[in-house]
Structures are given as structure tokens and as C-alpha cells.
Structure 1
Amino acid sequence: MAAMTTEAQDSPLDAALDRIEQAVARLEAAVAAAPAPAEVAELRSRHRKLKERVTQEIQQLDLLLANLPQ
């Protein structure tokens, strides 16, 4: 927004418009910083594989613990 006089800056409407412009700027920055869809898909795939691996390893630990002498 262009520079305003002190009176205009004190206006509730101008204050609200300034907050809206700041919010839009934050939204635009967030969209620009968001990873590309291909990156998100790759991360989801890696997460799924890691989760499956951890589940398998925990199952193995459970079997080992179940077979320990009491």
C-alpha cells in the first residue's frame, strides 16, 4: 500500500485492509515455500516404506522377547 497520512492509518477500514494484505502476503509466501507435488509423493512413499520396515522390526523384536527364557 502507498504511504498514508496518520489519519488514514488510524482508520479501522485501513487497519483491516492492512491486516488482510499482510495475511495474503503470508499465504503467498507459504504457497511459494510448499514442496512440489512430486516431492510430496516421494516423501509419502518413503514414509510408507519406513513405517512398514519399522513394523517388521518391531514384530521381530516381539518374537525374540517372547522366546526369551523366563
Structure 2
Amino acid sequence: MIEFEERPSQIGTNIKIVGVGGAGGNAVNTMIQNELSGVEFIAANTDVSDLNKSLASIKLQIGKKL
């Protein structure tokens, strides 16, 4: 039998969800609206207008020259 010395709540976890593009951004917004907790949300997109609609705390504009 396997036994853990630490309880799972004591183990530091760091979960980040990255939504890329329109569909990824929509998925991130849905998770935020459904109050998924304990997760950091990041939205990445080439379209700045889509990023402005994002509820994610971190927004990255990628491919500015595209």
C-alpha cells in the first residue's frame, strides 16, 4: 500500500489554463463564468478586439505583425 507523508492540500499546485485564438478564448470565458477556482487564466490571440472581450486576468497579443 502506498502512503503519502504530505496531505494533498499541502502540496503546492499551480494550474494555468491558456486559451489560444477565438475558440480558446471562449472556452476560458466559459470556465471563468462557471466560477472554476484555483486556476489562473491566460488568453492569447492575434486579434486585440477579441482580447478586449476576454475575462482572463492575463492577456497576450501574439503575432502583432500578422
Q: Please give the TM-score of this superposition, normalised by the length of structure 1.
A: 0.25
With the length of structure 2 as denominator, give the TM-score of the two structures.
0.25
- Relative contact order (alpha carbons < 8 A, sep ≥ 6): 1 or 2 greater? 2
Going by fraction, where is strand more abundant, 1 or 2? 2
Q: Higher helix share goes to which structure?
A: 1
